[in-house]
Amino acid sequence: MEKFCEDIEQMLVDYADGKLSPSDSSMVAEHLATCEHCRMLLNGLQKSLELAGVIWADSLAETEHILIPAAKTKKIRRPRYAAIAASFLLVATASVVWHTLTRPRESKLTFADIERKISESGGAAQLLAAAELLSDNPEAENIVKQQYQYIVETYPQTSSAIKAKSKMQ
Amino acid sequence: MSSSIILIDGRTPRRIGCRQVDEISVDFAVELNHAAGERLSEPSLMDVLSAELWRLRRIIAGMGLSASDSEDVLQDVSIQALKQSRNGSQTALPSREDNVKWLIKVTVNRCLMEHRRRRTFRRYASEILKRRLETKKASKPADEKAIVAEELEIVRESLQKLDDSLLSPIVLRYFCDLNSKEIGEILALSPSAVRSRLREARMILAKGLLERGLEP
């Protein structure tokens, strides 16, 4: 391999990615026209990336079904927590909607308020479910307590906060 | 809620996937809070985790983990995120961008543990091609498929043997579409160091093919 080929090799990846300046790109193209070794290497760069893409895509298809632990059931073996969290969310949502529909007209509750309350209730329920998952692990006792405290302080108006409070007691 | 988002965002429903809806939902919630006269707040780490799950899955897949190991990694990342959000609540709130970078960093590090144990890229090229044929109904001649399988196996082995300092940059760059600057921020490297590692990784994969008989 010529010394010049070694210099070209340094630029070949950027050339393949289209990241070279026009002048460098022209220089590499001129060299490629006359050097079979570098042409082969460029072909290898392109083909290997293409094949890596096939491997990555196959792997991605395998992971598409995986949910974050709070929502999955098999691995953590605590399906009831997901159901409890969903129930809290449903009750909280129904409660907010009921209050919205039945409150006097002079009230200025906006859609933004409803959205925020739903978001808070959902967040609190999610954190509560996660804390309950962790509560099975004795080493996580302090973390769980602090998590309950956090829910009570951050989402005081939610049903999850009431439940977290009772858990703390 | 989805339809409201789409209308406000001005996009047609058929062009919006789950990923975009997740991202828009987080932004929309922040905007709604702002519109309601509240302090403009950043989404929490757990919100970001939900919205960025697609990206974490992509990283894990790029690192070549099996489905069960992927599940373990996501579980670890979400528990770490939970702990981090607890710690973060006692200090200043980080930005959404910081949260995303933190999640990617934790995910990459966790995946690299599996890579060091050589628990990555364990599915043989023949399995990959079989699945590919089943899903895409490819109709290539048998001899051409054999060549592709051989080449695919070479790349798979090269990826499996790739040093972890090279694997994470190549996955983040070519499978997750991050640029050198973003990758450098996540891996604590300069952009030029990232580019250098990308060149090295690409050359290893290419030369692996050439040394074992890639046809010109």
ipTM: 0.76
Burial of B48 (0-12, 13-18, 19+ CB in 10 A): buried
Look at residue B3 and tell me if it is in a domain: yes
The reply to whether A105 and A162 lie within a common domain is yes
pLDDT 10s digits, B33-89: 455 444 456 678 888 888 898 999 999 999 999 888 998 899 899 888 888 887 766
Q: Which residue of B74, B151, B152 is in closest CB contact with A68? A: B74
Mutate to test the interface with B, among A8, A40, A66, A93 (most CBs of B within 10 A): A66
The answer on A73 and A57 residing in a single domain is: no
Do B19 and B67 fall within a single domain? Answer: no
* The dihedral formed by the CA atoms of B159, B163, B169 and B172, expressed in degrees to the nearest 10: 40
Interface test with B, best of A1, A55, A117, A128 (most B CBs within 10 A): A55
3-state secondary structure of B65: strand
- Residue B152 to residue B154: CA distance in whole angstroms: 5
Q: Are residues A14 and A91 in the same domain?
A: no
**Do B29 and B66 have their domain in common?**
no
**Quick one: A151 and A129 in the same domain?**
yes
What is the model's pTM? 0.62
pLDDT attached to residue B39: 47
CA distance B156 to B167: 12
A14 plus A73 within the same structural domain: no
Model pLDDT for residues B82-141, shown as the tens digit of each residue: 888 877 665 555 788 889 999 999 999 999 999 988 888 988 888 888 888 777 655 555
Domain assignment present for B79: yes
User: Which helix (H) or strand (E) element contains residue B48?
Assistant: helix B45-51
- A92 and A146 within one domain: yes
Asked whether residue B113 is domain-assigned, the answer is yes
Domain of residue A25 covers 3-63
Domain count, chain A: 2
DSSP string, B54-87: HHHHHHHHHTTB-HHHHHHHHHHHHHHHHHHHHH
Tell me what pLDDT residue B137 has.
58
Q: What local confidence, expressed as pLDDT, does residue B24 receive?
A: 52
Domain stop point among B88, B120, B152: B120
pLDDT single digits (tens) B173-182: 999 999 999 9
Residues A85 and A52 in one domain: no
| pLDDT tens, residue by residue, A85-133 | 888 888 888 888 888 787 766 556 677 778 888 888 888 888 888 888 8
Q: Which domain holds residue B104?
A: 44-120
Residues B55 and B108 in one domain: yes
Q: What is the pLDDT of residues A21-78, one digit of tens each?
A: 999 999 999 999 999 999 999 999 999 999 999 999 999 988 877 776 654 444 455 5
